[in-house]
Amino acid sequence: MTPTEALTASRYFAGVQQMLAERGVPVGSLLEGTSISEGLLGDAGGFIGLEDQDRFLANAIRLGANRQPGLALGRRLNISAHGSAGYAGLTAANARSALQVAVRFFPLISQLVQLSVTEDQEFASVQVTPLPGLSQRCEDFMIQTLFSSISLMAGFLLGNQAASLRLEMPGEPDDAILAGLAEVRDGLRFGCSGYRIRIPLAILDTPFALADAAAHHQAITRCEQELSALEARRSISARLYQQLLLSEEAIPSLEQLAEQMQMSSRTLHRRLEAEGQRFRDLANSARMSKAAQLLDQGWSVTDIAYQLGYGDSANFTRAFRRHYQVPPSRFAERSSEEGKNPIDGTPPL
């Protein structure tokens, strides 16, 4: 499996480490099996890769006896704890401007999820889309940290109006989540098709008390610099692979992706070759990762084959068997029997 190099700022894992240190958990035990150093945890500009994130969280859940550390972490994060992106949101004119900041600069926080915004007649809706193929603990940690932090910040920035926010998520009602999202408890919706944050249009343009145009401009400039530096450190194959995973339709072509990345297909092909990667392999790996996720969601083999661009289900089944060494039907049965990415198991990264 090609690594996605989906990074998350190390400050969030430092926050988990501090919580567990208060309970007497030594940092060495928390970092066991990872390549994370104590220095990286303390680096305000540091980032941690996907595999290390998952192993760190597996240790944290085991040592802390808490399957939902993101809920507790989010309650500790004030807006400035999110770095330049948080400061840009804090000094924004209103919630509409802060949403634009969040969508543009969320990669400075984490690349495990992607944000997009739509509006209808009543709400501005932020769709929060986890990267396909994440372990359940990584997905839960990022979503719960995000929602818990938003709950806290909404109470600070919007006061009583925070109660009009809606947070939507899959699954059954959970007492821990209800307690961790106290400020927006009345607006929580479970059993939904995905993760969404819905903000009434009526409060979208409410001025923020700490709005500061000059400070906001400085923060945006800093965010742009940090985002450019972050993109420069990621390989072209990792950036391409993430685009493949996040595409909503069937796997796009090399030419389509080159256009999205603002380069010629010849240049993209040449840069992949320089990294020892082939587009065909990346596309196949992304296609299989999507297939596994759709199987977990209960899709039929025929529908998945159609969604991913296969001519028929037989071709898809053969490709799936080559990749995972089991047919799709058996993969789906195993996921149902064991649960998606068991909490103490090794995730299919």
Nearest Cα residue to 180 out of 69, 21, 15, 62: 69
* More confident site: 14 or 135: 14
pLDDT digits (tens, 9 = 90+) for 40-81: 998 988 999 888 999 999 999 999 888 899 999 998 987 778
Q: Using alpha carbons only, what angle is made at residue 155 by residues 13 and 152, rounded to the nearest 5 degrees?
A: 10
Nearest Cα residue to 185 out of 81, 61, 109, 71: 71
Name residues whose C-beta falls within 8 Å of residue 124's C-beta, 6 or more positions apart in sequence.
95, 96, 99, 117, 118, 198, 199, 201, 204
* More confident site: 244 or 82: 82
pLDDT digits (tens, 9 = 90+) for 275-318: 888 899 888 888 887 887 788 778 899 999 988 888 889 999 99
Give this prediction's pTM: 0.71
